[in-house]
Amino acid sequence: SQKIEQNSEALNIQEGKTATLTCNYTNYSPAYLQWYRQDPGRGPVFLLLIRENEKEKRKERLKVTFDTTLKQSLFHITASQPADSATYLCALEGKLIFGTGTRLQVFP
């Protein structure tokens, strides 16, 4: 069955630095992959979608890459701010098979 993994449960970085989160998947070739943000006690909020034929997608300070050979997506937040502190989830395709998430903490 499809499996999706986010390589770290938690990531702590200093304000202003770039945060890089990793998502790996196996037993699947998704047509697209999505990234969501989840704050404690809240529902996930959509951030970015990247298709298999796209190498990179950007939105303001966010950048996502998609390497179908490595079966991996990287999610970058540049110039990170304390307000970026949340759990970030990657998800495969339509019915959204979610990873376990990476809890990002940005320290001032």
Partner 1 sequence: EPEVTQTPSHQVTQMGQEVILRCVPISNHLYFYWYRQILGQKVEFLVSFYNNEISEKSEIFDDQFSVERPDGSNFTLKIRSTKLEDSAMYFCASSLGLSDNEQFFGPGTRLTVL
Q: Which is nearer to partner 1, 38 or 68 (CB)?
A: 38
Q: Which is nearer to partner 1, 82 or 94 (CB)?
A: 94
Which of 43, 40, 36 is closest to 4 using CA atoms?
Answer: 36
- CB-count burial class (<10 Å; 0-12, 13-18, 19+) for 70: exposed
Q: Which is nearer to partner 1, 17 or 42 (CB)?
A: 42
Q: Please, what is the minimum distance in Å from the beta carbon of residue 108 to partner 1?
A: 27
Q: Please, what is the minimum distance in Å from the beta carbon of residue 96 to partner 1?
A: 6
Q: Please, what is the minimum distance in Å from the beta carbon of residue 99 to partner 1?
A: 7
Host H or E run for residue 9: none
CB atoms within 10 A of CB 42: 10
Q: Please, what is the minimum distance in Å from the beta carbon of residue 30 to partner 1?
A: 10
Q: Are 36 and 88 in contact (CB under 8 A)?
A: yes
For residue 11, give the amino acid letter: L
Contacting positions for partner 1 (CB under 8 A)? 31-32, 34, 38, 41-46, 49, 51, 89, 94-101
